[in-house]
Structure 1
């Protein structure tokens, strides 16, 4: 899944306007214009409008600050490389979700998982129980978040 798709899905799931996205980026000390966001959100964008990992990390860090407030001390620097597990973890933190809440969200979209399977996504990569989060799991989670916030939502993007 591309970073642009993640941004579109998070925006849709949390019902965020482009102006909100600009403010969320600013919370993470990342200046992004509404025009740049519009290019990233455009499904038919060209290759010049691909969102970098560091920009998506800035957005997710800003989302954490927006939803939970700034943490004490120095704010985290955006990662230069992201994978689905890191995105999943940042969303979990931003939405302040406990394991049971995440399992309920996944269940609403038909993904049956137990707490051990879910926990394997949040382990360090060198842990023997670490599991790589695939695009489908992340996508379904975001659809589940959208459904929870708006039960009548159309899941077709």
Structure 2
């Protein structure tokens, strides 16, 4: 899934304005302007569209964790992953919203997407693990849709 689509989904899910997105990015030291956010939120086929870089999405997801859960002052800041894929997005959202395996299964079930515990666990494994599985766009889209329904109400 493109970073722009993920940003749009999370922004809608949490009812965030452009200023809030800039503030969340600033929590991890990433400097973005409202103009940057507007170009990232523009549809692909509209003029002014700019692809959101992976580093910006990584900072946004880490900032979302700090925004939702607070900063852990006892730990040094974690380095930001320069590469973002669907698995990373899923992991960061799980941490930000404090979701357990049962929560993820329930969210996926609410949108009619069946997944087993083994499939869920495989998505959160390290890439070098033999049972690691890449998170597909359809899975992430349905997860975002279900989480949005849960947070915003139907």
Task: Place the TM-score, normalised by the shorter chain, in its bin.
Answer: over 0.9
SS of 2:21's equivalent?
Answer: helix
Match of 1:39 in 2: 39
Question: Which moves more between the two structures, 112-121 or 135-144?
Answer: 112-121
| Unaligned ranges ≥5, structure 2 | none
116, 140, 143: which is aligned to 2:142? 140
Match of 1:104 in 2: 106
Number of residue-to-residue matches in the alignment: 152
Match of 1:83 in 2: 85
Root-mean-square deviation (Å): 1.4
Cα deviation code 1:37-86 (max 9, x no counterpart):
01101114558611110000000000000011112332122211111111
For 1:67 and 1:122, the matched residues in 2 are separated by 21
Does 2:122 match 1:120? Answer: yes
- Any conservation in 2 of the 1:55–1:78 contact (CA below 8 Å)? no
Match of 1:29 in 2: 29
For 1:45 and 1:23, the matched residues in 2 are separated by 26
For 1:3 and 1:85, the matched residues in 2 are separated by 12
| Unaligned ranges ≥5, structure 1 | 153-157
For 1:23 and 1:54, the matched residues in 2 are separated by 16
SS of 2:24's equivalent?
Answer: helix
For 1:146 and 1:48, the matched residues in 2 are separated by 24
- Structure-1-length-normalised TM-score: 0.91
Cα deviation code 1:83-129 (max 9, x no counterpart):
11111101111111111111111111111112221011000111111
Cα deviation code 1:118-150 (max 9, x no counterpart):
011000111111111001100110000111122
For 2:47 and 2:88, the matched residues in 1 are separated by 26
Aligned-residue offset at 1:151: 2.8
Cα distance change of structure 1 residues 20 and 47 upon mapping to structure 2, 3 Å threshold: closer
